[in-house]
Amino acid sequence: MNIAFDIDDTLVNNDMVTKYLAAQGYDPYKVLRNFHIRNLKITKAEAKYIHTMFSMDEMNHLKPNPNAQYVIETLSQSDINEIFLITARGEEVKDGTINMINDHFPTILEENIFFTAGGSKEDILKELEIDVFVEDNIEAVLELAPKMPEVKFFVLSYSETPHNHDPIAAMDPLPNVTVVENLIDILS
Ligand SMILES: [Mg+2]
């Protein structure tokens, strides 16, 4: 089974971006939501600010979310599973990101980490023939899931994740989307 994970706020806790955006007077929820969905517009200043942050060294020293290491280790133990990471991070933090993943998730192969630089994850999900995708950005999942009925999506509802600021209960249920409160729930 090809299982893919988002990185920020899925495997690692990335509240630095939210905090920096808020400190600059931006609405982090709006900016991040729009940044990750191509067809929504953010201002040039907001985009520049996000790219500045995404190139900061702190991005490469984030801590794993609760249970993330256990989940990846457990899935990696089965020969039928191949683990991929698909992140909206860009080339600026590519090496640092790979190092961070190696530190916390040593079973994930470097060549299985893909960077979309803010772009949609749709093409990579298709190209890699992903069966399961785990992501914290509910709006991105709501955009992808109807286009890929064969993919099983898990959306994390961590309260601290910036993308799920809006009540998750308000989402329309889709047959291939499951909302989980904890990463460990994807194992059951
Ligand atoms: Mg994320």
**Domain of 13?**
2-187
CA–CA dist 93, 110 (Å, integer): 14
CA torsion angle for 70, 72, 74, 75 (degrees, to 10)?
160
The per-residue pLDDT for range 55-83, each reduced to its tens digit, is 778 888 899 988 999 999 999 999 999 99
Backbone dihedral angles phi then psi of residue 113, each to the nearest 5 degrees: -105, 120
* CA–CA dist 138, 54 (Å, integer): 21
CA–centroid distance, residue 77 to ligand 1 (Å): 24
**CATH code (residue 39):** 3.40.50.1000
* Spacing, Cα 79 to ligand 1 middle (Å): 26
CB count in 10 Å sphere of residue 142:
16
Domain count along the chain? 1
Q: Give the global pTM.
A: 0.86
Question: What is the 5 CA–ligand 1 centroid distance (Å)?
Answer: 9
Q: How far is the CA of 136 from the centre of ligand 1 (A)?
A: 5
Could you tell me the distance, in angstroms and rounded to a whole number, from the CA of residue 117 to the centre of ligand 1?
Answer: 13
Q: For residue 147, report the distance from its CA to the centre of ligand 1, in Å.
A: 20
Cβ within 8 Å of residue 72, ≥6 positions away? 5, 11, 83, 105, 107, 108
Summarize pLDDT for 104-157 with one digit per residue, the tens.
999 999 999 999 987 889 999 999 999 999 998 877 888 899 999 999 999 887
Q: What is the whole-number distance in angstroms between the Cα of residue 78 and the centre of ligand 1?
A: 25
> What pLDDT sits at residue 33?
66
> Strands, DSSP E only, in 53-185?
63-64, 82-87, 113-115, 132-135, 152-156, 177-180
